[in-house]
Amino acid sequence: MLDQIILFMDALLKGTGLQEIWWGNFVMIAVGCAMIYLAIVKKYEPFLLVGIGFACIVANVPGSDLIKPGGLFNYAYQGVNLLIVPPLIFLGVGAMTDFGPMIANPRLVILGAGAHLGIFVALIGAKLWGFSIQEAGAIGIIGGADGPMAIFVTVTLAPHLLPQISVAAYSYMALMPLIQPPVMRLLTTKEERLIRMQAPRQVTKLEKIAFPIVMAVIVNLFFPPVAPLITMLMLGNLLKEVGVVDRLSRTAANGIMNVVTIILTVAIGSTMSADAFLTVKTLQIVFLGLVAFVFGTASGVITAKIMNLFMEKKINPLIGSAGIASVPIAARVSHVVANQEDRNNYLIYQAMGPNLAGVFGTAISGGIMLALLGAG
């Protein structure tokens, strides 16, 4: 009788995850808890970190079937892996974004390319560290500070690095208010930070409607590899701007966006199992991501300073760092740093121009990378 009970208990024990648990799982569960803490207490990207943190915790409980094939989290991951989720995220972002600041000041769009030096510093750094050229390309795109684009490029070039790259990209985007200001202050003088920019011109409704159509044509024509993302971004924006499909626009910006955010965060978090995540490669990728953000910020500011050499009406170089993308966090950082020097200097609208151009800058870099590296 007792033998039988012990046998049953043993069989039950073997059915749990207890036998597979190791210290790495505890580390990753702590990482998941830290993410949820940062989201709740520090308000760092709560819409992303709560889901990622929770799924990370669940993924590190060995008994969980959710992350195994057939599990719901695994299906969520398939949505990312099959490149369904990132374009839908862009649809929602497009429906929420006013591209007026970018249309109003076309000269500033160049900052959307200038702030992407970090991509290439990280790419070369990754190659020096022994990553393959495709892995290095995927790591470099972290410097584009554009989560869906980083996922899109990584799934094509180096899908095995998706957990590390997506976590690094989203974490650094959340930490931009801490990473960027020291670099921005280091590269600018007080006089430069005090520059006030003139109010941009008024953009007409016709221009705002034409913008998504023109951009969708340009991107599909010249950058087919990244066209799914930008096309959906432009579709979302067209729904917003035409003004006659308000219901669809609100659905894209709210309902769809909320659903795909849950799917995306759960998918990313569920890939963070200790076996895959606790490696030297992860540390290298996290470090290279930081390097990419620092160099991207610096190159944006320096590009703005170079532009000032040729411009009659000077621009505040602090808006250069907004060209790194990560809408609207980077634009907000530019505004806050300028505002700390002069409380009456409002740079947010001007910084949004390069910030939005940065989305296209990252798409162009990603598109070129996919065209040259993706075929192998």
Asked whether 334 and 318 are in contact (CB, 8 A), the reply is yes
User: Which tokens go with 309?
Assistant: 């050499």
Task: Give me Rg for the CA atoms of the chain.
Answer: 22
Q: Is 111 in contact with 319 (CB distance < 8 Å)?
A: yes
Candidates 147, 93, 145; CA nearest to 257 is: 93
The whole-angstrom separation of Cα 170 and Cα 105 is 28
Beta carbon of residue 365, minimum distance to another protein (angstroms, whole number): 5
Nearer to another protein, 207 or 342 (CB): 207
Whichever of 121 and 235 has its CB closer to another protein, that residue is 121
Spatial distance between the Cα atoms of 1 and 365, rounded to a whole number of angstroms: 69
CB of 49 to another protein, least distance (A): 30
55, two tokens: 């799924």
Q: How far is the CB of 325 from another protein (least distance, A)?
A: 12
Name the site residues for another protein (rule: CB under 8 A): 102-103, 106-107, 109-110, 112-114, 116-117, 119-120, 123-124, 126-128, 132-134, 136-137, 140, 201, 203-207, 209-211, 214-215, 218, 222, 240, 242-244, 357, 360-361, 364-365, 368-369, 372-373, 375-376
Which CB sits closer to another protein, 76 or 253?
253
H or E, element range at 205: helix 205-222
Nearer to another protein, 21 or 213 (CB): 213
Nearest distance from residue 253's CB to another protein, in Å? 12
The sign one gets for the Cα dihedral 332, 336, 337, 341 is positive
Smallest separation (angstroms) from another protein to the CB of 58: 37
54 or 120: CB nearest another protein: 120
